[in-house]
Amino acid sequence: MIKIQVALDVIEPDRAVSIAEEAVAGGADWIEAGTPLIKSAGMEIIRKLRETFPDNIILADMKTMDVGAAEVEMAAKSGADVVTILAAAEDVVITQALMSAEKYGARVMVDLISVPDPVTRAKEVEALGVDLVNVHVGIDAQMTGESPIDKLKKLVSETGMEIAVAGGLTPETAHEAVLTGADIVVVGSYIINSDNVRQSAANVRKAVDSNEKITLKKKSAEEEMVEIFNRVSTSNISDAMHRKGAMQGISSKIPGKKIVGKAVTVRSFGGDWAKPVEAIDISGPGDIIVIYNGNRDIAMWGGLATQTAVSRKLEGVVIDGAVRDFDEVQKMNFPVFAANIVPNAGDPKGLGEINVEIVCGNQTVHPGDYIIGDDSGVVVVPKERAYEIARRSEEVWKHEKRLFEEIKNGKTLAGALDLLKWETQK
Ligand SMILES: O=C([C@H](O)CO)[C@H](O)[C@H](O)COP(=O)(O)O
Residue 4 confidence class, pLDDT cut points 50, 70, 90: very high
Residue 31: C-alpha distances to residues 136, 140, 205 (Å): 17, 22, 14
Residue 398, in any domain of the structure:
no
| Closest ligand 1 atom number to CA of residue 191 | 16
For residues 58 and 146, membership in a common domain is answered with: yes
Domain with residue 337: its CATH number is 3.50.30.40
Q: From 96, 42, 87, select the one nearest 65 (Cα to Cα).
A: 87
For residues 199 and 239, membership in a common domain is answered with: no
| Closest ligand 1 atom number to CA of residue 190 | 16
Domain count, the chain: 2
For residues 194 and 260, membership in a common domain is answered with: no
Residue 420, in any domain of the structure:
no
For residues 169-195, average pLDDT: 96
**Span from the CA of 169 to the centroid of ligand 1 (angstroms):** 9
pLDDT score recorded for residue 137: 97
Q: Say yes or no: CB of residue 176 within 6 Å of ligand 1.
A: no
For residues 359-381, average pLDDT: 98
For residues 201 and 94, membership in a common domain is answered with: yes
For residues 31-55, average pLDDT: 98
**Span from the CA of 259 to the centroid of ligand 1 (angstroms):** 32
Predicted TM-score (pTM) of the model is 0.91
| Nearest CA residue ID for atom 4, ligand 1 | 138
Residue 281, in any domain of the structure:
yes
Residue 219 confidence class, pLDDT cut points 50, 70, 90: confident
Residue 23 has pLDDT above 70, yes or no: yes
- Quote the distance between the C-alpha of residue 326 and its chain's center: 38
What string of H, E and C letters represents the secondary structure of the chain? Answer: CCEEEEEECCCCHHHHHHHHHHHHHHCCCEEEECHHHHHHHCCHHHHHHHHHCCCCCEEEEEEECCCHHHHHHHHHHHCCCEEEEECCCCHHHHHHHHHHHHHHCCEEEEECCCCCCHHHHHHHHHHHCCCEEEEECCHHHHCCCCCHHHHHHHHHCCCCCEEEEECCCCHHHHHHHHHHCCCEEEECHHHHCCCCHHHHHHHHHHHHHCCCCCCCCCCCHHHHHHHHHHHCCHHHHHHHCCCCCECCCCEECCCCCCEEEEEEEEECCCCCCHHHHHHHHCCCCCEEEEEECCCCCCEEECHHHHHHHHHCCCCEEEEEEEECCHHHHHHHCCCEEEEEECCCECCCCCCCEECCCEEECCEEECCCCEEEEECCEEEEECHHHHHHHHHHHHHHHHHHHHHHHHHHCCCCHHHHCCCCCCCCCC
pLDDT score recorded for residue 212: 77
Residue 56, in any domain of the structure:
yes
Residue 424, in any domain of the structure:
no
For residues 207 and 338, membership in a common domain is answered with: no
Give the pLDDT confidence of 318-344 residue by residue, as tens digits.
999 999 999 999 999 999 999 999 999
For residues 208 and 264, membership in a common domain is answered with: no
ipTM of predicted complex = 0.97
For residues 257 and 358, membership in a common domain is answered with: yes
Residue 391 has pLDDT above 90, yes or no: yes
For residues 188 and 254, membership in a common domain is answered with: no
List, in sequence order, every residue forming a beta bridge with 345; answer none if it has no partner: 299
CB 21 within 8 A of CB 56: no
Portion of the chain with pLDDT greater than 70, in percent: 99
For residues 190 and 230, membership in a common domain is answered with: no
pLDDT score recorded for residue 11: 96
Residue 125, in any domain of the structure:
yes
Sign of CA dihedral 198, 200, 206, 208: negative
Domain with residue 13: its CATH number is 3.20.20.70
Residue 29 confidence class, pLDDT cut points 50, 70, 90: very high
Q: Say yes or no: CB of residue 194 within 6 Å of ligand 1.
A: no
Show which of 176, 201, 218 is a domain's final residue.
Answer: 218
Q: Say yes or no: CB of residue 13 within 6 Å of ligand 1.
A: no
For residues 108 and 161, membership in a common domain is answered with: yes
Residue 131, in any domain of the structure:
yes
Tell me the C-alpha distance between 109 and 163, whole Å: 9
For residues 181 and 247, membership in a common domain is answered with: no
Q: Say yes or no: CB of residue 168 within 6 Å of ligand 1.
A: yes
CB 71 within 8 A of CB 77: no
pLDDT score recorded for residue 45: 98
pLDDT score recorded for residue 211: 78
Residue 266: C-alpha distances to residues 42, 242, 339, 362 (Å): 53, 27, 16, 15
For residues 166 and 205, membership in a common domain is answered with: yes
Mean pLDDT of the chain: 96
pLDDT score recorded for residue 215: 66
Give the pLDDT confidence of 269-315 residue by residue, as tens digits.
999 999 999 999 999 999 999 999 999 999 999 999 999 999 999 99
Q: Cβ of 288: how many Cβ atoms within 10 Å?
A: 27
pLDDT score recorded for residue 214: 66
Show which of 218, 241, 274 is a domain's final residue.
Answer: 218
Angle at 228 between CA 174 and CA 311, to 5 degrees: 145
Show which of 187, 218, 249 is a domain's final residue.
Answer: 218
pLDDT score recorded for residue 216: 63
For residue 87, the enclosing domain spans: 3-218
Residue 228, in any domain of the structure:
yes
Q: Say yes or no: CB of residue 148 within 6 Å of ligand 1.
A: no
| Closest ligand 1 atom number to CA of residue 8 | 8
